[in-house]
Structure 1
Amino acid sequence: MALGIAAALPYIAVKTYWAAGGRAGLADGFDVAGEFTRNGAPDALVWLEQHGVDFTAVLALTGLALACALVRPWGRRLPRRPLLVLACTGTVLVPYGLLTALLALTGDGGSAGTPITGWIAPAGVGAFLGIGTALGVGAWSHLHPEHRRTTGARAAGPSPRG
């Protein structure tokens, strides 16, 4: 879990930095909120970006919170099925991260006029793989009784007391 969180933090930091007006890693003249508008993003997401909140950073934090809820005791109070559905859905980030890595390595991830610099790709790949893997591990621990941490269920077999 800690590795998934650590892998996602650079992505969250960069996206938050950009939403706050930072320019490092962006091509000259590139505007993230403007790109959202050109791509048809809802006005609410554009507004958030213009006011320092990147929705993908919020989603990344939400994914990490979900992964933590699957393996931490405080997650016991949350409904199990919706957590598992969301976690299993979130594991799609693993193949997305692998595809992103492949495209970055082969140079097919964009043209010479790409809006971001090459050092940003590892942050995205790390976040996608980290969050997706953390969600998968958390869901797996819920689906296998011998590894459940948040349900209080004991593994089948003899009691540790004898």
Structure 2
Amino acid sequence: MTTAANRAPEQPSPRIRRAAYAGALALVPYATMKQYWALDGSWGLPAGYATLGDKMAADTHGRDLGPVNGAALWLYEHGVDVTVVLAALGIFLLLGLVRPWGLVFPRRLPLLAGRPVPRWLPLAPAWATAAVLAPVFGVLAPVNGVLAVLGLSHPNTAGFSPFAFTIAYGGFGPFGLALGAAAWSYQRRTGRTRRTAALTPPASP
């Protein structure tokens, strides 16, 4: 007899899955543009903008990057922008909330293969990130955009062209909203599975 604890974990609805895929794709323009800038591309940058490459050439070594200074410089020296890595991790997190490997560790992972993924592992960073991105970029940014189009607001884009600014940062809103929806679905599904397993008596020998 199969118990609830041995059943396949509940999967997200097609709507949540589509939202997650759309949110993941929404970050691709941001990552692409940041990587383009890391490779010394200049389109979309304000005139006179000092890139990390410029700072390194001037022997300032990007010290204004603060605590991520060492990692950012090492990645940049290898042709990668640290924010591209963070975007990739964000996409990985979002997809993990709607894919089977976000519930059970894949078999190719040593020691962890086949074990349930602890709920807190994806939920903690997902809720923390969604709590910041969803209201700021998913609600306030679109409202400010509409006001700007109507001439009622003049947002500060720090000298970046509006088009480049939109491409680079427009995906944060859809990503944050999708992350919140996927986290809610993941939390509800995994919580239901555990409650059902706790209430199901063990199988008779």
Please say whether Structure 1 and Structure 2 have the same fold, judged by a TM-score greater than 0.5.
yes
Give per-residue Cα distances to partners, 1:54-100, cap 9 Å, x unaligned.
11121111111001111100112233212101100010112231445
Displacement of 1:140 in angstroms is: 0.6
Cα shift readout 1:19-42 (whole Å, capped 9, x = no counterpart): 111111112332221399363434
Cα distance, 1:54–1:121 mapped onto 2, change above 3 Å: same
**Which residue of the other structure, out of 117, 121, 144, is the alignment partner of 2:188?**
144
Q: 2:128 aligns with which of 77, 80, 89?
A: 89
Q: Residue 39 of structure 1 aligns to which amino acid in structure 2?
A: D
Distance 1:119 1:24, change over 3 A: same
- Aligned AA (2:123): L
Greater shift in the superposed pair: 50-59 or 36-45: 36-45
- TM-score, length-normalised on structure 2? 0.61
Max Rg structure = 2
Alpha-carbon separation, structure 2, partners of 1:50 and 1:102: 38
Q: Which deviates more from structure 2 when the two are superposed, residues 14-23 or residues 98-107?
A: 98-107
| Alignment-mate amino acid for residue 22 of structure 2 | L
Aligned residue for 1:119, secondary structure, equals: helix
- Per the TM alignment, residue 110 of structure 1 is displaced from its structure 2 partner at its CA by 4.2
**Who is 1:57 aligned against?**
84
Does residue 80 (structure 1) correspond to residue 150 (structure 2)? The answer is: no
Once the two structures are TM-superposed, the CA of residue 5 in structure 1 deviates from its matched residue by: 1.8
Q: Is the 8 A contact 2:126 2:179 kept in 1?
A: yes
Residues 1:127 and 1:50: Cα distance change in structure 2 (over 3 Å): farther
The whole-number CA distance in structure 2 between the counterparts of 1:57 and 1:19 is: 10
Deviations 1:115-144 (A, max 9, x none): x22212212432211221221111111122
Length-normalised TM-score, structure 1: 0.76
Cα distance in structure 1, aligned partners of 2:154 and 2:39: 29
Gaps of 5+ in 1: 157-162
RMSD: 2.9
Consecutive unaligned residues of structure 2, counting only runs of 5 or more, are: 1-19, 106-116, 197-205
Amino acid at match of 2:122: L
Identical-residue share of aligned pairs (%)? 33
Question: Would you say the 8 A contact 1:8–1:128 is kept in 2?
Answer: yes
Alignment: residue pair count = 149
1:127 and 2:152 correspond: no
